[in-house]
Structure 1
Amino acid sequence: MSTQPEGRRPTIRTVADRAGVSKSLVSLVIRNSPNVSPERRAAVQVAMDELGYRPNASARALAEDRTRLIAVLVNDLRNPWYIHALEGINALLHRRDLRMMIGDQRLDLLGDEVLTAAFLEMDVDGLVITGSMVQSERLIHTATHLPTVVVGSRSLALPRGDLVCNDDEQGSRLAVDHLVGHGHRSIAFLNAPTDAAIFREQGYRDTIAGHGLETFVDMDDPSEDGGYRATVRLLTANPRLTAIFAYNDLMALGALSAAEQLGLDVPGDLSIVGYDDTTMAQLKAISLTTVDNASYRIGYRAADLLVDRIAAPSRPPQTLLLEPQLVVRRTTGPAPTD
């Protein structure tokens, strides 16, 4: 229990007096310096607990000449894919005694202008760019002045920085080969206007061509409503379609709703495959066959690369493509025989 007089915040001096050590040694403990014996570290920790002392973040930043803040710029937090990626990012940062602050670009009416300017003003240690982003001058300026890693977008051409994402073409091959293996010959792709969709559509087209089949593509928003609209258009124009591969799980959920609206059984009449393996896809009531794009591992590896870049800003940029896996659930099955 704290014995600090009421109304007064404990300081490094009061902690040092309580532990019977110097202020400089308390400072070393706060900075997790290895140059402190276990006995003295324990004494300082006991004193801080008894006094209710919490290190001042601003003072620590001044002492270390760094804020230990990592800025994460997200394209749209409504997409559940980002939750898994952010969990991976935060897991690594927590291990390295770093804190994550998140900015949602969708909520910034000026694009990334306000958020990136705020990140620089806060003197963050590094930047994680997550998802599809417009390559604005402000974004390039910020990435030039901060150690940066890009997660999930392969079209951003930054002057320096690392890239970690899923092998989208391989994910599409897994999905299409799975459907072809179940006898499907009329397979459509629900596309969306995003960076990753470019690679996923290319993987779809290449794999479909490799099987000697015809392509069917429709584009809409990468949302449940977008998937619903695109599916209705495709099935109305091509009633013989027996399978749909969606750009993401949200669009696949829209395809499920469209199939129900049109009186089609899934997977008896129509098989549906999503992409991302979000928590929604894993729900037993939905049980969506989908491509697991390793979003948690992507976030973890991205944060790891960023920490390395903070330590060595001039090292050559790295690009990591992590292998996806197909997760088969109840929304896919054999093609209808009629």
Structure 2
Amino acid sequence: MRKKVTSTDIAKKAGVSQATVSMVLNHKYNVSFSKETVEKIERIAKEMGYTIPKRRQRKESRKGKLIIVFCPTLTNPYYVMLLQGIEAVAKEEGYSVFTCNTQRELKLEEQYLKLMSSVDPAGIIYTCNPSSVFMEQVGEIAKKIPLVIISNREKVQVDAINQDNTKVGRLMARHLLDYGHRDVAFITPPLTQRQKQRSKRVQGFVQEYEQAGLGDRVVIKAADASLDEQLPSPDSEYKMGYNLTKELLAEYDNLTAIAGLNDMMAFGIMDALQEEKYKIPGDMSVIGCDNIIFSGMSHLSLTTIEHFVPLKGRDACDIIIRKIKSSKDTYDGTNPISIYHIEYEPKLIARKTTSYAREKRTKEAGKKRNIK
């Protein structure tokens, strides 16, 4: 009886690795092979009478309809908005979405990553940066499975929807400077090594004030690092904004504006201010970031930064779908290789929580009286 030909047999004859033979013959490689290599492997396989096992075909069929989403928390509306964008495109294309909530815990993230080889999804989306200790592992997965990071990291070697948080921080600061605010504060969750994107936003804010010669007039108020180790609740960031504002008001009496790292923190800031009988924006201006749905409600009307969160989710899923479809096509005998990097320009949404600083408003009113 003739011995059954295996991919290892073909690899020996072709002088390449078994993995290369497997990826070429199954048409699921995301790395570049020369036209000569592809033609050589296919020719040898044909000559030796090799056929792709049916079980692999069934596996490919199962995997084709599942997209995995890594999410650090589901308590912040920002991530819910991202998921809505992802799921909208997935539904249009007939794909299912499964969300892995890592709760910002390294052990959970590691467990989910280990499951990927057995789950074998059609694509993976990270709604935040992977933890730095897993970046190499994520890069290896991206060579086999379409993977997109909705990223605040400056340089990633995979498909990414980018966000320049330094630019966001500068835009927040510029708005306050234009309104004459000189003594300001920035309230943020813990500025830990694992959460570099937060520091980037703060850094941009401070840089804008430094450029105006007012760097020493900015107070940075960050939550204790231990809070990042706790399981997040729906009001975690709101409470941080509220509690840090209470501390801030007890320490400083000259501030005219407070910026929150995001809108949820800004809501906490506003409630703390109103509880202490501050008028917004009469006594204190407040600005946030993300433009979540609650921010535009008339009784809140929060000034914020729009960076098109749902569209980022849609784009991330669209890239996954494009990669899946392109892996089935060939160009000049090989699969096209591409890296997508998309970035939206942040936009200020000025509403009712920011206005001229107290001193400037008084001066403007005085000028008008003198004119009369």
- With normalisation by structure 1, the TM-score equals 0.74
Q: How does 1:172-187 map to 2 (within 5 A)?
A: 172-187=169-184
Query: CA RMSD for the aligned pairs?
Result: 2.7
For 1:180, give the aligned amino acid: L
Residues 152, 164 of structure 2: 8 Å contact kept: no
Distance 1:268 1:141, change over 3 A: same
Q: Of the candidates 310, 314, 327, which is equivalent to residue 349 of structure 2?
A: 327
Task: Give 2:272's aligned residue.
Answer: 258
TM-superposed CA distance for 1:109, in Å, is 8.1
TM-superposed CA distance for 1:87, in Å, is 1.5
Q: Deviations over 1:163-193 (max 9, x none)?
A: 1133322222222111111121112111233
CA distance in 1, matches of 2:295, 2:117: 37
For 2:343, give the aligned amino acid: L
TM-superposed CA distance for 1:83, in Å, is 1.4
Task: Give 1:91's aligned residue.
Answer: 88
Task: Give 2:299's aligned residue.
Answer: 285
CA distance in 2, matches of 1:170, 1:186: 21
Q: Does 1:245 align with 2:262?
A: no
TM-superposed CA distance for 1:268, in Å, is 0.6
Q: Which runs of 5+ in 2 are unaligned?
A: 1-54, 228-235, 328-334, 363-372
Sequence identity, in percent?
26
Q: Does 1:125 align with 2:126?
A: no
Task: Give 1:195's aligned residue.
Answer: 196
Instruction: Tell me the number of residue pairs that the alignment of Structure 1 and Structure 2 aligns.
Output: 279
CA distance in 1, matches of 2:63, 2:138: 22
TM-superposed CA distance for 1:145, in Å, is 4.0
2:305 partner SS: strand
Distance 1:145 1:156, change over 3 A: farther
TM-superposed CA distance for 1:206, in Å, is 1.3
Q: How does 1:271-310 map to 2 (within 5 A)?
A: 271-310=285-324
TM-superposed CA distance for 1:100, in Å, is 1.2
2:84 partner SS: helix
Q: How does 1:1-338 map to 2 (within 5 A)?
A: 62=59, 64=61, 66-106=63-103, 110-137=107-134, 139=138, 142-154=141-153, 160-192=157-189, 193=191, 194-213=195-214, 214-220=217-223, 223-310=237-324, 311-312=326-327, 315-337=337-359
Q: Deviations over 1:40-80 (max 9, x none)?
A: xxxxxxxxxxxxxxxxxx9x965746432110010101011
- With normalisation by structure 2, the TM-score equals 0.68
TM-superposed CA distance for 1:97, in Å, is 2.3
Q: Which has the higher helix share?
A: 2
TM-superposed CA distance for 1:143, in Å, is 4.3
Task: Give 2:11's aligned residue.
Answer: none
CA distance in 1, matches of 2:323, 2:221: 40
CA distance in 1, matches of 2:298, 2:340: 38
For 2:79, give the aligned amino acid: Y
For 1:277, give the aligned amino acid: N
Distance 1:327 1:297, change over 3 A: same
TM-superposed CA distance for 1:333, in Å, is 1.2
Residues 72, 102 of structure 1: 8 Å contact kept: yes
CA distance in 1, matches of 2:259, 2:106: 33
CA distance in 1, matches of 2:106, 2:315: 31
Q: Which runs of 5+ in 1 are unaligned?
A: 1-57
Residues 132, 195 of structure 1: 8 Å contact kept: no
Moved more, 60-69 or 210-219: 60-69
CA distance in 2, matches of 1:309, 1:161: 12
CA distance in 2, matches of 1:142, 1:63: 16
Residues 149, 161 of structure 1: 8 Å contact kept: yes
Residues 154, 163 of structure 1: 8 Å contact kept: no
